[in-house]
Structures are given as C-alpha cells and as structure tokens.
A and B are shown apart, each in its own frame.
Chain A
C-alpha cells in the first residue's frame, strides 16, 4: 500500500487539523513532542518518508482514544499500523521490548513445532481434545516464564477460565498446537507473519471440530473478529470473549457475594475496539462486589501504556502511573482487568509505586465468588 491509499482508507485525508487527537492522546501527555495531528499533516503535505524514520511511528499505542473523538472519523491506529508495514518494507522496525523475545517467540510459533503449552492445566479441570468449544489460551504459558519477576502468574486466569466454563457445563478443547494469535505482529506491520500464524490457528481449530472459540485475551478476540477475516476469509466458528459468554449465563453460576470494593480497567481492545463494556461490569456485580469507576472509564478509559511489545519506556511508565493513581483514587481494594497484558503492564508500574491495590483478572474474581479454588 502506498501513502495515498493509506490516507484514503483510514480517512486521514479528511483530517481537519483540529488537534482533538493530540489533545486526547495519553502519549502526548507524557511526551509533548508527540502529535498524531502533525504526523498526519506531514504525510498529507507530501513527506511520508519522514514518518517512516520517525520513532513516533512506534510510540502510538493504537489505543483508539483519539478515534472516538475525531470529528472526521479518522482511524489513526489503522493509519499507524499501515504506515508501520510500509516502514517494514523499508527494513525499518521499532525498538522491541524485552529484547524482542516476544517477536522471536511469535517467529518460532510460525514454524513447525510441537509445543508443550498446556502444562498449566491442573487437576480437576475438564478439557477435551475434540469438541464444540475451543478455549484459545493465547501466550499466557510464555508470559508465566517471562514475567515471573513481576509476580504475575498469567495462567491462573486460564485455570479460572476453565473452572468457570466447567461450571457452565462446558469442557473446552485446549491444544498444545495453538499458536500466538499474531496480533502483535500485525500491530508492528508484519502482515506476512500474522497470516502464517492465522493459517496455523485455523487448521488447529478446524481439527478440533469447534464451533465456538472462547478467549480470555481481548487481543485474541479482536484479532479473530476484526483481522483474521481480512487475511484468511470468513471464520467457520463463533468468536467470544469469556465475559460475553458469562454475561449470558450468569444465573447458572452459584455465586456468593464477595462484599469487596473493586474498580475495573477497560482494555482498549475489549472496550473501544469490541464495544464490550457491560459484560465484565455485570460479572463483577454478579460476584457481589461493589464496582467504583475510575475517572477515565469505558470509551474514555486510559490504555495500560504499552502495546505490541514495542517502544516501552518513559511514556508507558507515565501512563501506567496515572492509571494506577486513578485506581487508587477510587479507594478500591482491587483493580480488575480482563486482559492478561494490561495486568502485566500495570503490575510492572505498581512494583515501583506505593499504592495498596491488588490486580486481578475478572475470571479469578468470579472464581472466588463461586468459591472455586484458583490457586
């Protein structure tokens, strides 16, 4: 794609130069030199190559906050992602977090490997190898190793998810052959790598016979719902986030009131991208917890500060700190998220702050309310 097409497809050519995006952007708050408005302006005035070599191309979180406020409906995240793929063709990439270990893992997962990624399964969890429901776990088993220093055990949300599914009478397929959904490759402009992972995942899911794929990672749902059809065609199965499924069957769960005060962090993908705001909140209330909202919530929610495992730094830490202070201001005992990456990113900032709040995935909160042991 060339920049003319990118501008047209993302409606950036209709930019009014109003600056609402820059005024809304959480990155700009920390780094005033960052401006989505002037980025578009420079490309519109015929200097796209400047963008390719500008590190600000990798600073955008693709959080979508600006898009919700743009009077011209410019899809700035899509503009950035498309520009990144142009940069990639010119052999320009961003600075990856964690020395690109996630990029390497994604690259290896695109090869013929036999993973052992279901080691997190615990006694008493009912899963199958063939069936109607496929639980797409995502990269949680890798996160467990990578982020153990933060004290985050990402797969505890996976165990909780299977327990909740079991409580609803669902024994999901869990597969060693599942791959990363590839969202983070696409986000960095690697369309080819994304396609390879998407194709393998489709084969693995097809082999399981599943008619529905259930996710706990919003990035996975978003990739499957929005991006997979664009590269591999219409999907022959239904795609749901676990909270959406639970919202429909909450009565079936034997819930006890937790009687605690919590706040909820909307993940960008689940919220602004997929419009799922109410289901996780309904789950929290059903668990008998009192939900208090942060200053920025729902479509105005603040991003967890880092996406695509790229360009993590001062801005990320600044945004995370702001978010955690917003959570602290609610007086809640827990900060509930519905995204494993938000949990990791916010935990990273929390370790340096004197804020007394516990981060928890919504599935674990629900499990506690059903009095199911989740480790």
Chain B
C-alpha cells in the first residue's frame, strides 16, 4: 500500500448542504475551476442533518477523508443547523480518536453559494492533507 502523494488517490466524501455549500460546489464546476477528482459529494438539506453515524459509515465503507460543509455562521437556512454540525464533527472526531482513525481525516468548513473558488481550494488542500496520511487502517489487510 502506498501513501506517496503520486500513488495514492484518496477517496473523500463531502457532505454539502443544499442551500449554500452544494451551490458553492456547483459554482466551482460551472466556473471550471480545477480541483482534484477525489470527491464524492452527498447533498444534505443542512449540515445539521449530518450525524456521527453518517460520517463513520463513510469511513467504514472506505472513505479516507470526510468533509462536512455548510453555510457560514448566521446564514444557515434552518437558523442553527450549522451549530449542530460543529457539535457533531467535534464528537465524531473524538470517537475517531478512540477508533484510531486520525481526526485530521475529518474537517468542517463553511462554504457559501458564491464561494466556488473557496470550495475548490479547500478540496485541494484537504486532498493533500489526506494524501499525506495515506489510506485508513480499516483497509489494511496486514492488520
């Protein structure tokens, strides 16, 4: 198994809220901004819909990184869903610590509908970060 930057293509699951971040990802696409083809975007109505179970399921099914994205603080269309997302991501990160899955594989970012470039930049950065970590131990057949 290789975790060299050239060899290893991580799989990254992105949860994107319907009202801001998904539109941000869309904008990155229609603006033809380049970012790594490592993402699998899952649209949710709000970042507050994401649960620890969702994030852990992604890792169980083979994700190397999970990015939760939502509207900037104050902009959530359900008022406080993104505040719940902060709690969820924090809690899940601590569960991951016990599981031995590096918490750096999980990230929370606010991306508005106008921030296509920001979406692309975060995806590039996060891909590099996960690439450096290599695949999760969950896929290590030698263990």
Contact = CB atoms under 8 A, between A and B. Distances in A.
**Are the chains A and B members of one assembly?**
yes
Interface stretch (B7-15, B33-41, B65-73, B90-98): B90-98
A299 B20 CA distance: 56
B79 interface: no
Nearest to B49: A99
Contacts of A145: 91, 94-95, 98
Nearest to A98: B53
B83 to A, nearest CB: 15
A107 interface: yes
B56 A104 contact: yes
B51 to A, nearest CB: 4
B101 A113 contact: yes
A104 B142 CA distance: 22
Given A104-B57, A108-B60, A115 B99 contact: yes
Nearest to B95: A145
B100 interface: yes
Interface residues of B, number: 23
Interface in A98-127: 98-101, 103-105, 107-109, 111-117, 119
Interface residues of A, number: 24
A108 B98 contact: no
Contacts of B99: 105, 108-109, 113, 115-116
B141 interface: yes
B54 interface: yes
Contacts of A103: 53
A142 B98 contact: yes
B143 A104 contact: no
Given A142-B95, A145-B98, A108 B59 contact: yes
A112 B60 contact: no
Given A98-B53, A113-B137, A113-B143, A104 B100 contact: no
Contacts of A109: 99
A128 to B, nearest CB: 21
B64 to A, nearest CB: 14
Contact of A101 (B53, B100, B141): B53
Contacts of A112: 137-143
Q: Considering residues A98, A101, A104, A115, which has the most beta carbons from chain B within 10 angstroms of its beta carbon?
A: A104
A134 B60 CA distance: 28
Nearest to B90: A145
Interface string B97-113: 11111000000000000
Q: Considering residues B54, B98, B139, which has the most beta carbons from chain A within 10 angstroms of its beta carbon?
A: B98
A114 B98 CA distance: 9
B60 A114 contact: no
A94 interface: no
A141 interface: yes
Q: Considering residues B52, B94, B101, B143, which has the most beta carbons from chain A within 10 angstroms of its beta carbon?
A: B52
B98 A101 contact: no
A101 B53 CA distance: 4
Given A104-B56, A104-B57, A105-B99, A111 B91 contact: no
Contacts of B91: 145-146
B143 to A, nearest CB: 3
A101 B98 CA distance: 14
A228 to B, nearest CB: 22
Contacts of A113: 99-101, 137-138, 143
Contact of A146 (B95, B137, B138, B140): B95
A99 B54 contact: yes
Interface in A35-75: none
Contacts of A176: 100
B137 A108 contact: no
B140 A105 contact: no
Contacts of B97: 116, 119
Contacts of B60: 104, 107-108, 111
A111 B59 CA distance: 11
Closest 4 CB pairs of A and B: A112-B143, A104-B56, A99-B51, A99-B53
20 contacts: A98-B51, A99-B53, A101-B53, A107-B57, A108-B56, A108-B60, A108-B99, A109-B99, A111-B138, A112-B138, A112-B143, A113-B99, A113-B100, A113-B137, A114-B143, A115-B99, A116-B98, A119-B97, A142-B95, A142-B98
